[in-house]
Structure 1
Amino acid sequence: MADHFKIPAVIRRLKKEEDQIKNEPPIGCHAESVSENYRTWKATILGPEGTPYENGLFYLKMEIHEEYPFKPPKVWFTTKIYHVNVDSDGWISLDILNDGWSPAITISKILSTVRSLLVDPDPDWAVGGEVYAAFTKNRSQYDETAKEWTQKHAMD
């Protein structure tokens, strides 16, 4: 019992979250810790059917803040993706990773929410630039470009 208290609470929580993801993975998602302190994770998201990202396999990285769950993790795509909520470096613009963060949010919930962005992009959290212009002015061209990028960068 004493050993349980020697493990920092953040690590206990992250171990529990990793076990939950292994036992009940979010639809189309996978994640696991890749560091001894559980603060670096890798994840994959399968592009949802009926979207320009369909059948793409997208890789993400997560850096868990030392004050997790009171501060959100940093989450970004390592696979190039054409998306109104993702900048050219892969950083995801999403309310729950910023001002909308709550300690009740889990890594599983983050992955599910990011995957849902592939179905329903959020222009209120757009990163701006040419991708935003394409999304708002010519959605069919935006979707076609997203599909081309998926085929080029996210198909093994």
Structure 2
Amino acid sequence: MTTPKRIIKETERLVAEKVPGISAVPHDDNVRYFDVKIDGPSQSPYEGGVFNLELFLPDDYPMTPPKIRFLTKIYHPNIDRLGRICLDVLKSNWSPALQIRTILLSIQALLGAPNPDDPLANDVAQKWKEDEKAAIETARQWTQQHAKA
């Protein structure tokens, strides 16, 4: 089975035009699987952390969004214990016009701006709403423990 031109072009662009704080490297044996690293944004509780994710492009990509999840443990209201991500562009707001780099930038932005009003991890969102300072401190601690470069 040949690799679609779209995937080849996106992969080439990801390699050629590096995105600050983000790397996405396709597996040698399957160009639909990527190892992703995202640096925690500055001025966020995730600053200083490097988060590992896995990204998979389904057979019907770009008609359906990529499958992405965090492998690094993270304390975030929009990311659950399994690493699944609650992000509109990965679900209802997906468009074939979006690209891998756009999605990764959206995930990096989500790290900088958690949204407890649209949670995937309800317990974390609850804590974020009740005591934001304590939740941010927990997020910092988890980043130190689990996401150190």
Q: CA deviation at 1:136?
A: 1.1
Contact 1:65–1:74 under 8 Å retained in 2: yes
Instruction: Show structure 1 runs of 4+ deviating over 6 A.
Output: none
CA distance in 1, matches of 2:18, 2:132: 32
CA distance in 1, matches of 2:42, 2:125: 23
Write the mapping of 1:2-151 to structure 2, written as runs, cut at 5 A: 7-8=2-3, 11-151=4-144
Q: CA deviation at 1:38?
A: 1.7
CA distance in 1, matches of 2:20, 2:10: 15
CA distance in 2, matches of 1:27, 1:124: 28
3-state SS of 2:105 partner? helix
3-state SS of 2:37 partner? strand
Listed as ranges, the gaps of 5+ residues in structure 2 are none
CA distance in 2, matches of 1:16, 1:40: 15
Contact 1:73–1:97 under 8 Å retained in 2: yes
CA distance in 2, matches of 1:61, 1:97: 14
Contact 1:25–1:108 under 8 Å retained in 2: no
**Structure (1 or 2) with the larger CA radius of gyration:** 1
Q: What percentage of residue pairs aligned between the two structures are identical?
A: 38
Deviations 1:100-119 (A, max 9, x none): 10001111001100000011
Q: CA deviation at 1:35?
A: 4.8
3-state SS of 2:141 partner? helix
Q: Which has the higher helix share?
A: 1
Q: CA deviation at 1:94?
A: 0.5
What is the aligned length? 149
Deviations 1:27-73 (A, max 9, x none): 21000211544211110001111111011010000111100000011
Task: In structure 2, give the amino acid aligned to 1:81.
Answer: I
TM-score normalised according to structure 1 size:
0.90
Q: CA deviation at 1:89?
A: 0.6
Listed as ranges, the gaps of 5+ residues in structure 1 are 1-5
CA distance in 2, matches of 1:124, 1:105: 24
Task: In structure 1, give the amino acid aligned to 2:109.
Answer: S
